Structure 1
Amino acid sequence: MEILVTGGAGFIGSNIVDALIKAGHQVIIVDNLSSGKKKNINKLAKFYQIDLCQNDLARVFQENKITHVIHHAAQIDVQASIENPLFDARNNILGTLNLLENCREFAVEKVIYASSAAVYGEPDYLPVDEKHPLKIMSGYGISKHTPEHYLKVYQELYGINYTIFRYANVYGPRQDPAGEGGVVSIFVDQMLAGKRPVIFGDGSQSRDFIHVYDIVKANLLALSKGNNLLINLSTESRSSIKELVKYLNKILAFNLKPIYKPARSGDILHSVLANSQARQILGWQPEYDLLSGLEQTINYYKKLN
């Protein structure tokens, strides 16, 4: 297969690129490097520094025989989507639409799209399955959900297959603690520097933390499975933020007490996604529990220092 990975210099995308190349696929990366990093780019991949909204995107399809697209390029900052919804929509909606137009013109077989648990909002029940009502709380949630509709329409009109993934809280190697970094990378960065981690709220809020390598495995399986389906990716278990700090202290042999600050408005209290569809349809299951995943992640960051 000849596979285009958008956002292939970013956290999740670059890990997917490495796995695809290891599996023997030809890989093309498109990334504007607004948040992706050159050091993440696999030297065996063909790289284009292009914004998805540019007309120049067509050149990528003209110069390669792309059969599959794994789409991870996105604006991911929730606060930025609230403060500048036009910027958010341009990147996540119009950028995806330009990508799909090229997929249509150049007869791409399938698009695998990274959506987000943000589309569910505050849950009515746990675990949240794919049929859960959508209660979107930000422009980011809107801009990640809208392409899901376009994918379905492009399948019906033009026969382009898709798999839509809604991710739980992803963590692991290459996640950037700066900007809109996940809480795991932020805490690891703080604690490796000997700083006390900062918790917003009382720490009882809980999340479904899934290791990036489990996300990678699902994306590779979706190249040949899960056509035209919406699938959650999660561990289907949740841990509180206080428990996360406890695990990190245990692994690091530290005893850093967290600093508590007022809860942030709009933060969801509890979140855990159901993963039965991923297990049944893809034959997938998460390999990392939180403790083993954190150990692997901390070892990665220690080697960087």
Structure 2
Amino acid sequence: MSILVTGSAGLIGEALIESLLVENVSVIGFDKKTQTKKSATHNFVHVEGDLTDINTLKSIFNEHSIESIIHAGGISHPFIGDQDPKLTLNTNILGTMNIFELAKEYSIKKVIYISSGGVYHRNDDLSQQEKDILRPPSIYGVSKLTGEHLGHVYSQKGYFDFIALRFPFIYGPQRKMPDPIKDVIEKVVHGEKLIRMNGKEESLEFIYIKDAIRGIQLALNSQAIKDDVFNIGVGYTSTMEEIAHAVQMSFPKVTIEFTDQSSGYIAQRPLDCSKAETKLNFRANYTLEKGIKEYSQLYLSSCIE
């Protein structure tokens, strides 16, 4: 039996596949981007294609015996939703429906859906809880929430077990989409001594990739959960100034200054992760400082190589 990982060439997909292969799990990766890094691994097969291409997807199920799906594929950044709403909705809603329809047709046991904290609107509470009334403030958030609703419908009809995981910004090596941590680390590693950042007091929640992968695997290995949604985060937000301080702890010779401009991101409350701690035994291990330090070292070593 194999696990299908969509979005296999992305930040989550790459790290997740690496972790699964260490456990000697057979993995089928699906992504619209070419993936050559693990092509020599006998337990890994990469299929190139688009989530909206049902025929290519169906060929995977015909050729491989798949037990579970981790659906991490799709448009994964709120800015793209504003720039290209049609692409975002087609990929994240129609593409997700294709995955669920094939999971139903081929009697897949479990589907893990990678959702986002972008489904929440900003409120006056201390944190965002899974039981909150949801009014996403972006097209991207709407697309991710729609995927959650679709998954619950399929699960409630008994087609497969379904778990949605809502993540904040995930940072770490191999991230391709922009985020404030990635942007500043890239500039530091490429030799910039004076870096300007925006949104000094603006805050977002960030989780290091290793914590995110552990949350996914805990959900994948859970036996009793049939249809549920969990916040997987660190439970607190960090300001851009705190990010700058953490980067300077690893690179003390770098100067970071702030402009008067906004970062452009929608500020949100931290995710309440108590439900994941109780039902999945999940708690983040990486602080912002620890995660940025490791990320910086790995990024630096990859550039040297």
TM-score by length of 2: 0.92
Would you say the 8 A contact 1:5–1:13 is kept in 2?
yes
Please list, as runs of the form range in 1=range in 2, the aligned pairs for 1:151-166 lying within 5 A after superposition.
151-166=151-166
**Partner of 2:259 in structure 1?**
260
Would you say the 8 A contact 1:248–1:294 is kept in 2?
yes
Q: Select the residue among 201, 206, 210 that pairs with 1:204.
A: 201
TM-score by length of 1: 0.92
1:190 is aligned to 2:187? yes
Q: Aligned to 1:223, what secondary structure does the other structure show?
A: helix
1:240 is aligned to 2:230? no
**Deviation digits for residues 81-127 of structure 1 (CA, Å, limit 9, x no counterpart):** 22322111110000000111111111001100011011102233122
Change (3 A) 1:200 1:42: farther
**Partner of 2:230 in structure 1?**
231
Gaps of 5+ in 2: none
Structure 1 stretches of at least 4 aligned residues deviating more than 6 Å after TM superposition: none
Structure 1 residue 144, shift from structure 2 partner = 0.8
**Partner of 1:145 in structure 2?**
145
Q: Aligned to 2:191, what secondary structure does the other structure show?
A: coil
Could you tell me the percent identity over the aligned residues?
27
Counterpart residue type for residue 296 of structure 1: E
Counterpart residue type for residue 93 of structure 1: I
**Partner of 1:249 in structure 2?**
248
**Partner of 2:278 in structure 1?**
280
CA RMSD of aligned residues (A): 1.8
2-structure distance, mates of 1:282, 1:73: 23
Gaps of 5+ in 1: none
Would you say the 8 A contact 1:26–1:45 is kept in 2?
yes
**Partner of 2:287 in structure 1?**
289
Q: Aligned to 2:256, what secondary structure does the other structure show?
A: coil
**Deviation digits for residues 243-284 of structure 1 (CA, Å, limit 9, x no counterpart):** 11011011112241224142256x333431111111111112
Q: Select the residue among 216, 220, 223 that pairs with 2:217.
A: 220
Please list, as runs of the form range in 1=range in 2, the aligned pairs for 1:79-98 lying within 5 A after superposition.
79-98=79-98
The number of equivalent residue pairs is: 298
Please list, as runs of the form range in 1=range in 2, the aligned pairs for 1:119-130 lying within 5 A after superposition.
119-130=119-130
**Deviation digits for residues 145-168 of structure 1 (CA, Å, limit 9, x no counterpart):** 101111011112243111100001
Would you say the 8 A contact 1:9–1:38 is kept in 2?
no
Change (3 A) 1:228 1:121: same
